[in-house]
Amino acid sequence: HYDPKTRVLRLSDSVFSSKSVAALGVAAHECGHAIQHSTNYSPLKIRHAIYPVVSISSSAAVPVIILGFLFNTATLVNVGIVLFAAVVLFQLVTLPVEFNASKRALAILEESNFLSGSNFDGTSEIKSAKKVLFAAALTYVAAALVSIMQLLRLILLANNRRD
């Protein structure tokens, strides 16, 4: 991952020591985050700004909601829902950051000629890298959708308890 506080790019051993298309894609993606940081990419700045609040709210949301339901306290439930909504907001802000880092990664790989040949099956390495990076980005989309659905479920549960 890219650590913006120390401006250091850290790769796992499996990524660092591999020459696979997937490993190059991951490394280039993380370089994309470093470039975002150096160019003051707005969504990244927003994500970093809200992170401290989200780090607290992500661990507090569910216990607060559970306590609210256990003690039949609508205020606690609502506070927990607001805390969980902050997590959802963070995940939504993360989407353009991740997609942009992947876009930058592909540009790095193409411009630097890291990938140009063909895979063992005859497909281009660039096409394979695009698939890997797109699949990785879809994990963030899936996480955001799950969180949105969970938030809606919590809101419905809270409204049903009031009725």
Residues 124-148: tens digit of each pLDDT: 888 888 899 999 899 999 999 999 9
Residues carrying an active site annotation: 30
What's the pLDDT score for residue 54?
A: 95
Bridge partners, residue 118, by sequence: 124
Contacts of 80 (CB under 8 A, 6+ apart): 60, 61, 62, 63, 64, 65, 66, 67, 68, 154
pTM of the model: 0.86
Rounded Cα distance between 105 and 31, Å, is 7
Contact status, residue 94 vs residue 46, Cβ threshold 8 Å: no
Instruction: Report CA-CA distances (Å) from 85 to 61, 82, 98.
Output: 9, 5, 20
Predicted confidence at residue 112, as pLDDT, reads 86
Average pLDDT over residues 59-68: 96
Confidence of residue 48 (pLDDT cuts 50, 70, 90): very high
Q: What is the pLDDT of residues 64-109, one digit of tens each?
A: 999 999 999 999 999 999 999 999 999 999 999 999 999 999 999 8
144, 88 Cβ separation under 8 angstroms: yes
